Amino acid sequence: MRISVIGAGYVGLVTGACLAKLANKVTLIDIDTHKIKSINSKASPLYEEGLDELLNQVNVEVSPDYTRTTDSEVLFICVGTPPDKDGPISLEQITEATKEISKVLKKKKDYCVVAVKSTVAPGTTEELVIPILEKSGKRTGKDFGVCFSPEFLREGKAVYDFMNPARIIIGEYDKRSGDTLLKLYRNFNAPVLRTNLRTAEMIKLASNAFLAAKISFINEIGNICKNLGIDVYEVAKGMGYDDRIGNKFLNAGIGFGGSCLPKDIQGLISKSRQIGYEPKILQEVLNLNDRQALKVIDLLKKHISLKGTTIGVLGLAFKPGTDDIRDSSALRVVQALLKEGAKVKAYDPMAVNNFKKLFPQIEYVARAEALNSDAILILTEWPEFNELDYSGKIVVDGRRVEKAREAKIYEGICW
């Protein structure tokens, strides 16, 4: 099929590259000149496992020119929906992209489907996207269709997740919209659920909120376990044998970060407050997560005074396998260390450049072994951290790195 993808971030770029690999003709649109240059020279502007190889196998070109989308059968909106200052999801980019698509619709002769993939609060596609599209003078359901088609791609594993979906959710304005989108997914071996638009929007937010809740839940159990001398990892293992609980996403530690979980749960809280419902569980999932990151500082202070002391930080990315530091626990922890008067030396195999932009004042080392410091905090579970020599050190571990237990003093954050 002829596809356009608006927004070449990790969702849009992976979606475009994977759909091209599946023999579709893909046009990518983005306004960022750095991204455009990089993608057109077949190098991904962001780190995603397998994406550079994929870009070299397929023919996708990116430019800011929306007129290139005129012959598309499906136009995916994959622009960013970052958090707004006061909580709700920012709709600025999605509004701009939709206005541009609306201009394209004006000139389009054939039926097409506009499919929103950007994560938005329930009701946004109906209340914001459709009215802007109809400013073209064309009618939804007659001249064009609309879908909300959420993505469930993990950063770092996005190519794999796209090609091996656990489920395909199609929120559809009407049957024709959904039928058109479904043609794209016909060769995937995954259950398909077709719903209305706002249900699909909620499925996306509720899924991420549930994942976040699972992490805060096991962290809370961990905090209790630590005080009782119980290993929360054994507890999670025992719980996980029950199919209803499952053994995934129960790794206790410093908490969740990234561009999705914190933002999406905040977006759901804001939407919920807008309609007059106070979502207490969701709010506490976030509160606990905020407190959890700073627990490493309290644990460290039990063993060493921070003022004037050099603290080594292992791991800056919000999880291994990415250079992304958005909402990473390391941001809060480094900020707190500096406030306490500590000197910070940090190492991360991928995320140093991004972290440096926000914290130019701390020292960065090129190899983990060079982190000679009085005490070490482990904030991301990069596999290489399980091969370091921790003997003689004070270590506070936020990520359960087994080798670190050899340290002179070892404190797990909640074990």
What residues line the site for ligand UGA (CB under 6 A)?
Answer: 119, 151-155, 208, 211, 215, 249-251, 253, 255-258, 260-261, 318-319
- What is the CA 124 to chain-centroid distance, rounded? 20
Minimum CB distance to ligand UGA, residue 295 (Å):
13
Task: Tally Cβ neighbours within 10 Å of residue 168.
Answer: 18
Q: Which of 341, 347, 295, 273 is nearest to 316 (CA)?
A: 347
In the bound state with ligand UGA, the residue whose beta carbon lies nearer, of 153 and 342, is 153
Instruction: Choose, from 78, 147, 225, 260, the residue flagged as catalytic.
Output: 260
Count of all residues that appear for the chain in the document: 415
In the bound state with ligand UGA, the residue whose beta carbon lies nearer, of 37 and 237, is 237
Helix axis angle, 197-228 to 232-240, nearest 10°:
130
Minimum CB distance to ligand UGA, residue 93 (Å):
15
In the bound state with ligand UGA, the residue whose beta carbon lies nearer, of 165 and 340, is 165
In the bound state with ligand UGA, the residue whose beta carbon lies nearer, of 83 and 255, is 255
- Is the CB of residue 338 less than 8 Å from the CB of residue 345? no
Minimum CB distance to ligand UGA, residue 109 (Å):
35
Give the helix ranges, DSSP H, for 116-275: 124, 130-134, 158-163, 175-184, 197-228, 232-240, 261-274
Minimum CB distance to ligand UGA, residue 128 (Å):
20
Q: Which residues contact 304 (CB under 8 A, 6 or more apart)?
A: 374, 375, 394
Minimum CB distance to ligand UGA, residue 261 (Å):
5
DSSP run (H or E) holding 287: helix 280-301
Instruction: Take residue 132 and report the two structure tokens written for it.
Output: 């802007």
Q: Distance between CA atoms of 325 and 323, rounded to whole angstroms?
A: 6
Q: Which of 361, 357, 288, 269 is nearest to 329 (CA)?
A: 288
Count how many Cα atoms sit within 13 Å of the Cα of residue 372 in the half-sphere of its side chain: 1
Instruction: Take residue 330 and report the two structure tokens written for it.
Output: 């390391």
Q: Distance between CA atoms of 383 and 379, rounded to whole angstroms?
A: 12
In the bound state with ligand UGA, the residue whose beta carbon lies nearer, of 154 and 291, is 154
In the bound state with ligand UGA, the residue whose beta carbon lies nearer, of 155 and 397, is 155
- Is the CB of residue 289 less than 8 Å from the CB of residue 261? no
Which region holds residue 42: left if phi is over 0, alpha if psi is between -120 and 50, else beta?
left
Minimum CB distance to ligand UGA, residue 309 (Å):
27
Instruction: Take residue 130 and report the two structure tokens written for it.
Output: 């459709």
Minimum CB distance to ligand UGA, residue 71 (Å):
29
414 is catalytic: no
- In terms of C-beta density within 10 A (0-12 exposed, 13-18 middle, 19 or more buried), how is residue 122 classed? buried
Instruction: Take residue 291 and report the two structure tokens written for it.
Output: 């407190």
Q: Which residues contact 61 (CB under 8 A, 6 or more apart)?
A: 27, 28, 39, 40
In the bound state with ligand UGA, the residue whose beta carbon lies nearer, of 31 and 211, is 211
Locate tokens 């012959």: which residue?
71
In the bound state with ligand UGA, the residue whose beta carbon lies nearer, of 181 and 265, is 265
Tell me the catalytic residues.
260
